[in-house]
Amino acid sequence: MKDKKLPLKALTILFALGLAASACSSDDASDGDSAETSTTEAATTATTGGTDTTGGTGETTVDLAAVCPATVIIQTDWFPEAEHGALYHLLGSDYEIDADLKRVSGSLQLNGEDLGIDVEIRAGGPAIGTGSVSAEMYIDDSIHLGYATTDGQILRFEEAPLLSVMAPLELNPQMIMWDPETYPEIETLADLGDNDVTINVFGGGTFSDVFVAQGIWNAAQVDPSYDASPGRFVSEGNIAQQGFASAEPWLYKNEVEEYGRDVAFQLLNDAGFPVYSQTLAIRPDDLETLRPCLTELIPTIQQATVDYYDNPDETNALIVETVAVFDTFWTYPAELADFSVAKQLELGLAGNGPDDVVGNMDDARIQEVIDALATADMDFPADLAVSDLVTNEFIDTSIGF
């Protein structure tokens, strides 16, 4: 095991499971080849706000300056990663990296066309004191959009409500992993429960309480002592551990030298916890003020999402460069960025919903999460409605992979 590199690399888990954004608590499927093919087709036909932005003529009529703030500020939940690629894909070549404030800013562009405003993307997690994005948005009202997670929106609704307006990721990348050599017979999280396997998670999570309430796991097998280190998973070999399907499988095979092989896993989504993670959300009180901007901006981000996954290399290079310039404990190699994009497409983490639209949110999924948290006897307003948490008002239904 590498003396210093390994623990720092292992902290990539914190992004996924939200030690940064308390994603595991209350803050916040097509294959790769077919996804790439359909993405290319979408990139030649999609529209933004009813206006062709594919760059076929080298011009665009979208001018966000007429309806948006001069700089749209977006607060993320962690340091830059490929899961944030749709946002970083908006940055033009004039971008500037602020290592002190952990921000990247530049002209907001699509297909090489300047849309008239700037965008500033702020790192989260340690960059904001590991506080939640929702809390940060209520401390700093200059932030226009911030990352949210369905369970976090529900549980923090009374203190810091957020309204999601787009979901760049279709599925939550969070997962539980185990060693397939130790447990070749285990295929699902329910199997872990049936076999009474110890499941190491961060303390204060919601999904573990939900799975216990649903009878998938028993409370005794959930160990909330996970500290983001790979040491216990490697040394004991017989425990399961939370992680991020678009990061940990690469890390444990390529960076954790004492393990050095594939892990088996199942997404929390596929086990019955279908939250949306890293949605773009606003403060509900800002809805009327931001409505003209969001009407044009959200389709722009939809198209940037499609375009990023079709051609991620330049944006991934920006992400890797930004992490290096930030110069913190957090490191992010290009190989991991490449793996992440491929895995996101393979698992359907990035992609369309069932209606062939990218970025919209399914009311039934939101209600399922509300019901699951109620089953686990968690505290939130009894009359909370799906419409309090999400809106698809600004989604352009012609844009998809």
- Domain assignment of residue 383, given as a range: 36-172+276-333+350-388
Residue 57, pLDDT > 50, answer no
Q: Is residue 246 part of a domain?
A: no
Write the CB contacts of 233 (distance below 8 Å, at least 6 apart in sequence): 179, 200, 239, 241, 252, 259
CB 244 within 8 A of CB 175: yes
Residue 347 pLDDT class (50, 70, 90 cuts): very high
> What's the confidence (pLDDT) of residue 36?
31
Q: Which of these, 387, 386, 398, 381, lies nearest to 156 by C-alpha position?
A: 381
- Structure tokens that stand for 222 in this block: 């959930």
Q: 10-24, 167-181, 221-235: lowest mean pLDDT where?
A: 10-24
pTM for the model: 0.86
> What's the confidence (pLDDT) of residue 61?
62
What is the average pLDDT value for the chain, to the nearest integer?
87
The tally of domains found in the chain comes to: 1
Residue 279, pLDDT > 80, answer yes
CB-facing half-sphere around the CA of 116: CA atoms within 13 A: 15
Q: Is residue 129 part of a domain?
A: yes
Partners of 120 in the beta sheet? Answer: 73, 105
> What's the confidence (pLDDT) of residue 49?
42
Q: Is residue 125 part of a domain?
A: yes
Q: Is residue 256 part of a domain?
A: no
> What's the confidence (pLDDT) of residue 353?
86
CATH of the domain at 319: 3.40.190.10
- Strand 222-223 and strand 199-200: the pairing is parallel
Q: Is residue 312 part of a domain?
A: yes
Q: Give mean pLDDT, residues 339-353.
A: 97
Q: Is residue 109 part of a domain?
A: yes
Q: Is residue 116 part of a domain?
A: yes
Q: Is residue 13 part of a domain?
A: no
> What's the confidence (pLDDT) of residue 9?
38
